[in-house]
Amino acid sequence: MGVKQRTKSLKAKKSQLSDTFYQLKVLKKGIEPGNSEGFTPFDQKLDEHNLQSLRPDGIEIFQLNIGKLCNQTCSHCHVDAGPDKGDEMMTREDLETCLEIIEKHKIPTVDITGGAPEMHSEFRWFVSECYKLGAEVMARCNLTIIVANKKYHDIPEFYRDHKVKVVSSLPHFSEKRTNSQRGDGVFEDSIKALKMLNEVGYGKEDTGLTLDLVYNPTGAYLPGSQATLEREFKRKLKRKFDVVFNNLYAITNQPISRFLEYLIHTDQYESYMEKLINAFNPATIEGLMCKYTLSVSWDGYIYDCDFNQMLDLKVDAPGQHISEFAPKTLLERKIITGQHCYACTAGAGSSCGGEISE
Amino acid sequence: MKKQYFNPDDLKKFGDITEHQKELGEKFFEYYGSVFKDGALTMREKSLIALAVAHTIQCPYCIDAFTTGSLENGSDEEEMMEAVHVAAAIRGGASLVYSVQMMEHAKKMSM
């Protein structure tokens, strides 16, 4: 049926929030001067729990945002991706540099994200090259792209042939809740795409083809237990649609970009921040993704995580661009933190791989 | 500001009930925490039960808390409304079942 756009990008709306400085100001100072000065700064919270500043443990995952072009404009998107972002795509030259880094430094996992990464003209070539290097490739697929156009219909077979681990967003097993976040028609097309992935073996036992789903709340609340949600998703998707998958990752919405806009617009920013801060769990710190991941933007800059990337907080180390990649100094850096980090440390924690601590 | 009996911010202060009776308050919260853990019933199922009960006892704090709890545990509006209908059916049924008494009495009083 095709997907209707849920909203417009912040950039297209010429929103003040499209400016990362403004987002950082809101996170630090609140919406109006003085109204959230009372929120404990994240670093102070670490101190209160006798925790050190965050430092990396290694580089196990190279997460590449190869472009912000997307066929959807989801209302919570922290990337501010959309159909109008075709000018923010990684160049072939930078993709080649990434391949050199993956090969030279034997980075085990390449996590490719976007936008809809499949819309990048060099996507298939890049995945094939990573596969040849023996890296595990993860693709963050929004599902609907598979049915959006004939040229993407063979993506499931392409993924299967390159043993790509597929990580797909599906915020709910209910059509209404999924579409309210991602746009009308998204649920129906997502189910079609999941069936196509199942048909080539994804999500099925003994195929070695992994299909993981990403759940994130469709509103200003935290995700519940990942195990409970996974059980329910498996039961409902199997019963209603005969769809199967492997694991469900429960991810907390970050109070940045379009979700921040939603929070401000619905007057829930303060209460959401309060919720995150009250749910701070020191047991999540050791498992935070920034400790073993590097995030690279479409223009080749390096960040501690995808969220720092969207706030334009480049790594605090010399050699901030992939063209000057220096793993030794990167491993010695201090990870940049801020109020948005409360989203990754709330409750059971949240990372690109879901819950951190049960 | 107009004074109200129910203040939504009071829910955040629920923990303060330990102030004048620490031991009993702490015992209550320990019990409460255990009740809502995954057990023979999932947290999701327990949240839906709590939501239905909240409507029966008409507790605005509980309705807010378990609407959030149900959403957090993956329920959607359709499931939540069905849970409320279960509460309404039991409440309504509890009234209607007395109509048997009414009918019996009317029968006895009538020719």
Q: Which own/partner contact pairs does B55-59 have at CB distance under 8 Å and 24+ positions apart?
A: B55/B84, B55/B87, B55/B88, B56/B87, B56/B90, B56/B91
Q: Nearest residue on chain A to B64, judged by CA atoms?
A: A221
pLDDT at A9 over 80: yes
Q: Is residue A176 part of a domain?
A: yes
Q: What are phi and psi of B20, to 5 degrees?
A: -100, -5
Distance from CA of A233 to the nearest CA of B (A): 8
Best B12, B42, B66, B70 residue to mutate vs chain A (most A CBs within 10 Å): B42
Q: Which of A21-35, A134-148, A197-211, A328-342 is predicted with the least confidence, judged by mean pLDDT?
A: A21-35
Inter-chain CB pairs, A–B, below 8 Å? 44
Look at chain A and report how many structural domains it folds into.
1
pLDDT at A356 over 70: yes
Fold for domain B44-111? AhpD-like (1.20.1290)
pLDDT at A357 over 90: no
What type of residue sits at position A333?
A: R
Q: Nearest residue on chain A to B67, judged by CA atoms?
A: A221
List, for residues A302-315, the tens digit of each pLDDT value: 999 999 999 999 99
List, for residues A233-274, the tens digit of each pLDDT value: 999 999 999 999 999 999 999 999 999 999 999 999 999 999
Which token pair is A236?
A: 């409902």
Contacts of B39 in chain A (CB under 8 A): none
pLDDT at A36 over 60: no
A169: containing domain: 16-28+38-345
Average pLDDT of chain A is 93
Question: What pLDDT sits at residue A37?
Answer: 60
Question: What pLDDT sits at residue A161?
Answer: 97
CATH number of domain containing A108? 3.20.20
Q: What is the enclosing helix (H) or strand (E) of A293?
A: strand A293-296
Question: What pLDDT sits at residue A91?
Answer: 97
Question: What pLDDT sits at residue A277?
Answer: 94
Q: Is residue A4 part of a domain?
A: no
Provide the chain B residues 48-107 that lie in CB contact (below 8 A) with chain A.
Answer: 68-69, 71-74, 76-78
Chain A residue set in contact with B, beta carbons under 8 Å: 172-174, 176-177, 215, 217, 219, 221-225, 227-229, 231-233
Q: Is residue A5 part of a domain?
A: no
Q: Is residue A3 part of a domain?
A: no
* Mean pLDDT across B60-65: 94
Contacts of A217 in chain B (CB under 8 A): 71-72
3-state secondary structure of A71: coil
Its pTM stands at: 0.88
Rounded CA separation A300/A302 (Å):
7
Q: Is B9 on the interface with A (CB under 8 A)?
A: no
Distance from CA of B78 to the nearest CA of A (A): 9
* Mean pLDDT across B43-52: 96
| Residue B4: band (very low, low, confident or very high) from pLDDT cuts 50, 70, 90 | confident
Question: What pLDDT sits at residue A35?
Answer: 52
| Residue B9: band (very low, low, confident or very high) from pLDDT cuts 50, 70, 90 | confident
Question: What pLDDT sits at residue A353?
Answer: 73
Q: To which residue do tokens 């792209």 refer?
A: A145
Residue B78: which of A174, A221, A227 has the nearest Cβ? A174
Contacts of B74 in chain A (CB under 8 A): 172-173, 215, 224, 228-229, 232-233
Q: Which of the 8 DSSP states describes residue A69?
A: B
pLDDT at A177 over 60: yes
- Where are the domains positioned within chain B? 44-111
Rounded CA separation A127/A136 (Å):
10
| Residue A346: band (very low, low, confident or very high) from pLDDT cuts 50, 70, 90 | very high
Contacts of A223 in chain B (CB under 8 A): 72
Q: Is residue A193 part of a domain?
A: yes
Question: What pLDDT sits at residue A32?
Answer: 59
List, for residues A72-118, the tens digit of each pLDDT value: 999 889 999 999 999 999 999 999 999 999 999 999 999 999 999 99
Distance from CA of A289 to the nearest CA of B (A): 23
Q: Nearest residue on chain A to B68, judged by CA atoms?
A: A221
Q: Which of A35-44, A325-334, B68-77 is predicted with the least confidence, judged by mean pLDDT?
A: A35-44
Q: Nearest residue on chain A to B39, judged by CA atoms?
A: A228
- For residue A293, the cross-strand partners are A61
Q: Is residue A351 part of a domain?
A: no
Which token pair is A194?
A: 């999941």
Question: What pLDDT sits at residue B1?
Answer: 58
Cα angle A57-A63-A64, degrees, rounded to a multiple of 5: 145
Q: Is residue A7 part of a domain?
A: no
Q: Is residue A1 part of a domain?
A: no
pLDDT at A33 over 70: no
